Structure 1
Amino acid sequence: MKKCDCLNFCGDDTRIDPYSESCVDYHHRRTAALKWLADYVPCWDPSATHIMRCTWHPVGYLFFADEITGTQGFAFSLEELDRERVRIGRSAFAAPPQKQNAVSEEARETLHNLAQGLDTLKRNANDAYDRNYIAAMLKDVDGLLTTSAVKGRLTMKAELTTVRKLNLTDLMGEPHKLDPVSVILEDFEPGKGKIIIECYGQSWSAYWGSMGGKSIANFFCRCDEHYIANKLSGISGDIPDYEALETSAKREVCRLRRERDLTGSEARDLYDDAGSFSYAECASDLNGRDMAAIFGQEWWHSIPDKPNPDYQYLCRIIKAVQTGIQAAGVLKVTEGSGHE
């Protein structure tokens, strides 16, 4: 392909195929196609940017979102077609509306989170170069959040929800043994709600989007404390008991010695080493060789468990909140009795 040098028709920006036809013949056919479209096309497709004359198509033309090159036809923009329509005495087509950048709520949230993360990195950066580099990135993110397209999309929405707050005090006695607890119950709509619990500087929250039409208060009081604890926090109900591991390891060493699976010196060494098991804070603190000699190759399955005091503490708080909600009289007796 080469650029056309014919300045009589469209300047030197039009590309033609020198092996198929002459420059003049090409422009004659292109001009004829433009005149035909200007006289024949009744309206412009608002979603299109170009139109192409296609003799093989039933209506003789096709609309495209972008200019088509390398096809068996002539493509024209809306501006070219309008100029020809005005030249032959017809009115120009209305320009298609400009596309706006649609920014979703997820994109907005992502940009805000990115801005907060960059701001934290900037405050914690020790090197001046790093601070300047992060500041430049933060400026770009702020620019995206303040563009007119984003502003038009991010119109503030105000919604009214039902919120109740409970303050539970005098919980030091049995069975709760707790500091004061504050509870926030928020109902967004029937069957959707959130709860926030705070006690002694710690807080837990959970959201339910399908509660069978119940309020958050009714749903919370009907659920088991273990289910709610797993929803509020990811802590486990049991933790390894390394003090009990020391006792079980010494007992197992004595059994192996009685059955002649260990020599006297081996049993004495293992028995003494087992005395340090109670100081372990995690499985990696244990001597794997000693544990394998006592309990076998999969020795980690032999570590005993004990109830997690943090988990039990949270369950006591949950039971106290359930009792407090019932005592405050915020339960709705008209709601369905089916268990969620």
Structure 2
Amino acid sequence: MNATERLYLPIDGILFSCLTGHHQPRIMHLVLQSLCQSTALAPALQHPQISNISKTDMGIIKTVKGRWRQQDKTAVVIRSSSSGNRPVSSDQLPLRSVDLLELGLTKPRNCHRIVVLGAPKVGKTNILRRFLGKEFEEHYEPTTEDFHRKLFYICGEAYQIDLLDAAGERDFPAKRRLSILTGDIFLLVFSLDDRDSFTEACELLKEIKAAKAKLLKFKKKVPVVICGNKADQDAQRAVTRSEVTESFGEDASFFETSAKDDTGLEGMFRALASLGGLPDETSPSRHQIISILTYQSLCIGQRGRRGSRTGGVGAPCAAVDPVARRPSFTSDLRLVLGSSTKHNKPEKCQIQ
């Protein structure tokens, strides 16, 4: 006996009605399974009483399924904290993060990680937004951790800069220490109108130097740029330049900036490039922004024309990887351990 029931599927405010039966049970199971994987209706659709459906109603289900697929293509897949980015189609994005070193498109010496440290509410996120070519964001949202990747093509060479805002690691010393150990360049940020943030920056500088001193390869000076942000709020200033000089020393790379007014940042970005051995063209004003797919095509195309005289000719350009994710802590730990075991006297990893 073929009993039938009526099934209701609410899609975009429209209630689709169809009769269930005992025809084509396996096909219907696969269709519903695919639907359940991408919708919030999974509990309702996985009921044993609707495991079968008539052939006529299969057309309705396929139409609904096609509608969902169309919605998936236009969904926003960019993760960004308070970025305000316009929606981008998934067809315009790479499937995974672009790692130039893994793809063989650059050399290890052209890959750097900048670690940004500082107290909350000092403007770290907006400084990074300026570096990524974005506008200042007035609304404040606490940052747990933010990871960005900006890829450059300058004078025929590809460069990869990873930016780690380790704001959420203030209460996790071991995680913060691991982030410090994996950093190549450091940006310390405090607010000129907040003395406590200045005190925290001083302590962080000591922590950076102590952590890096444990790595045998780090015998040279640690590349650190110190940023006194919110210079636009001069009336509320709580830290003087003489105090900064006294605490950090005369030779410290210190810059007074305003992420809101976009003042002082250009010099700071150039100092980061200089200390890290990067070209000046990595500063935001020295290159044009292109899409990630255009960047990939450019790198692959130039790699195929290495023997050509025209290879490497063109204006400096850069792209922001919209799906960049921080490497796992396991990968970072292996990186730190590997840097220690390359020497004659292996050293224990100083994470704790």
Which band: TM-score by shorter chain? under 0.3
Q: Select the structure of larger CA radius of gyration.
A: 1
Higher helix share: 1
Q: Which has the higher contact order (CA 8 A, sep 6+)?
A: 2
TM-score, normalised to structure 2, is: 0.23
